Amino acid sequence: MEASSVGVEQNDIEQLRQHAYRIRRNALLMGEVQGQGYVGQALGVSDVLAVAYFRHLNFKPSDPEWEGRDRFLLSIGHYAIALYAALVEAGIVDEQEIDNYGSDDSILPMSGMAAYTPGMEITGGSLGHGLGIGVGMALGLKRKQSASRIYNLLSDGELNEGATWEAAASAAHWKLDNLVAIVDVNDQQADDKSSTVLNYEPIADKWQAFGWETWRVDGNNLEALVEAFDAAVNSTSDKPRVVICNTLMGCGVPFLEERDKTHFIRVDENEWSLALQQLDEVYGVTGQEQKA
């Protein structure tokens, strides 16, 4: 990846790149445990999570409910595998839990739920809930005069839900400058391509019209993500902020990038090790470096 031209230290980008690598690796390891999982989405959104968690979020790994933390809300419960991968990388979830992913009594169930997992702020899965909860939490933080922020990761499919737009209107109405929405646009939802199921464009115009400060970036380009997130977080406007991230499902594993895209991307039993191997190749990682 090329050096940034916007004043971001190359060193920072390299560190984020390493975080993104390990998030991807954690997700693949979890997928391998169950032989399935939403790894296509997880690989796609790993760079976004790396920038969110390791450049902007305030958190204490030993105290996931620390009052001063920033709150990261995962509306899209099926992306839990991606967030677990980031929570492991952040030290909030123990790495050994990867082996229990999706199993009975695991703290890492297939769909993200607040009661199960440290660092999982809300129960997602019924889409269209997260941004509204985020509005209430952002109002609550303001009542407490807290400097913490709310981040809410949504998907393009979730923009089908009317409740998302109720919340979008409300966030602007209340001038929730402590709320950052992140929309993962991978153009894939349950039945088909999102643009075929219910065309979401022009997304940026819609958020802008709803009164949000809006950025749209390549969600697999760390420099672009850093630039957009820095601008969104540091903006002095009184508007809520949204970073719309175009991502590639399977990103970082070439044979999955090229595979026919579906909501639940197929990975055969013998392909997990290949996926991990290709990921290492893409990042130039040798076997001994993996645990770094």
Q: Which residues bind another protein (CB under 8 A)?
A: 113-115, 121-123, 125-126, 128-129, 131-141, 143-144, 162-163, 166-167, 169-170, 173
Nearer to another protein, 113 or 231 (CB): 113
The residue type found at 81 is I
132-to-135, 136, 154 alpha-carbon distances in Å: 5, 7, 12
The residue with tokens 């070439």 is 254
Residue 139 CB, nearest distance to another protein (Å)?
6
Q: How far is CA 6 from CA 141, 232, 242, in A?
A: 32, 15, 20
Q: Which is nearer to another protein, 141 or 249 (CB)?
A: 141
Q: How far is the CB of 242 from another protein (least distance, A)?
A: 17
- Residue 86's CB is within 10 A of a number of other CB atoms, namely 29
Based on CB atoms, which residue is closest to another protein, 60 or 173?
A: 173
Q: 171: which residues sit within 8 A by CB, 6+ positions away? A: 131, 134, 135, 138, 179, 181, 211, 212, 240
Residues 6+ apart with CB under 8 A from 143: none
Q: Which is nearer to another protein, 85 or 131 (CB)?
A: 131
Segment (H or E) for 222 = helix 222-234
Nearer to another protein, 18 or 160 (CB): 160
Do residues 190 and 157 touch, judged by C-beta distance below 8 A? yes
Nearest 10 degrees: Cα torsion 127, 130, 132, 136: 160
- Residue (88 or 168) nearer to another protein, CB: 168
Using DSSP's 3-state secondary structure scheme, residue 153 falls into strand
CB of 244 to another protein, least distance (A): 21
Query: Minimum distance from CB of 33 to another protein (Å)?
Result: 26
Measured between alpha carbons, how far is 290 from 280 in angstroms, rounded to an integer? 8
Nearer residue to another protein within complex by CB, 127 or 267: 127
Cβ at position 191, least distance to another protein in Å? 20
Least separation, in Å, of the C-beta of 280 and another protein? 39
Q: How far is the CB of 180 from another protein (least distance, A)?
A: 15
